[in-house]
Chain A
Amino acid sequence: MFHTINKSPFERNSLDTCLRLSKKGSAILLFEDGVYAALKGTQVSAKVEGAVGEHPIFVLGPDLKARGLSEDHVIEGVSVVDYGGFVDLAAEHGAVNAWL
């Protein structure tokens, strides 16, 4: 299964609920305001650092860049992908759920 999160973890519980209801090994992509969950040194970093061992986690590069963020800010183990990578992830996995 492929999970996408496009909302900030500081505004919504999408990240928490996704982590609670996803099976180990299913992929998670953070994009739009969801990219804030991918950053080091925040209140939710520990949560994402813990999840890296359980899930492949990706963050959309263009959305980082748009928000003044770079790969240097991203938690180790979270992979930066471009739009093509996003498409590949959706194609590779089964059902997609958008955690709004």
Chain B
Amino acid sequence: MAEYVFETEGVKKTFTFLNRKAPYGTIYALEVLETVLISAAFEQHANIVFVDDGVYQIKKDQDTAAINMKNFSPTYGIIEMEKEDADEDEDMDMVWRIIVEKESMEARGLSPDDFKVEVEVLSSAELADVLEQSDVVIGG
């Protein structure tokens, strides 16, 4: 089997993960979430963004027992912990932001209290700047 070597020494990029789909109906949300977790291993900067129906991914009180699917929403709590670790550890050069677009949130009658993690609420114009300043955008 081929052995892969990842030369990541000194490589620091800003990744934006753009979540635009509701959970469970399609596989998009889970796939993006897995990608976010992989990027944590490489200590890269990350913006985890929720837009359109993607805001439903972080809705509180998800209970999937009756639909026979794994409830993956607790993993967003892990992301929040990862972000807090990065914020607190001065030796760690890694900035993570958890962002919700205001327009998408309000269109769905939601407020920051409805989310299971603490989020930054940005307008679409502010979010456009975040996207433009990203080195890599991974959407789903």
Q: Interface of A with B (CB < 8 Å)?
A: 1, 13, 17, 20-23, 26, 94-100
Contact = CB atoms under 8 A, between A and B. Distances in A.
B51 A21 contact: yes
Contact of B128 (A21, A95, A98, A100): A21
Interface string B128-140: 1101101111011
A11 B136 CA distance: 27
B103 interface: yes
B134 A95 contact: yes
Given A1-B132, A17-B52, A21-B51, A95 B137 contact: yes
A20 B129 contact: no
A31 to B, nearest CB: 15
Given A22-B128, A23-B129, A26-B132, A17 B20 contact: yes
A95 B140 contact: no
Interface string B113-140: 0000000000010011101101111011
Contacts of B137: 1, 95-97
Interface string B87-113: 000000000000001010000000000
B76 interface: no
Contacts of B131: 1, 21-23, 95, 97
Given A1-B132, A17-B51, A98 B139 contact: yes
Given A21-B124, A23-B129, A13 B52 contact: yes
B138 to A, nearest CB: 8
A45 B128 CA distance: 23
Contacts of A1: 131-132, 137
B124 A95 contact: no
Contact of A99 (B16, B124, B129, B139): B139
B36 to A, nearest CB: 16
Contacts of B72: none
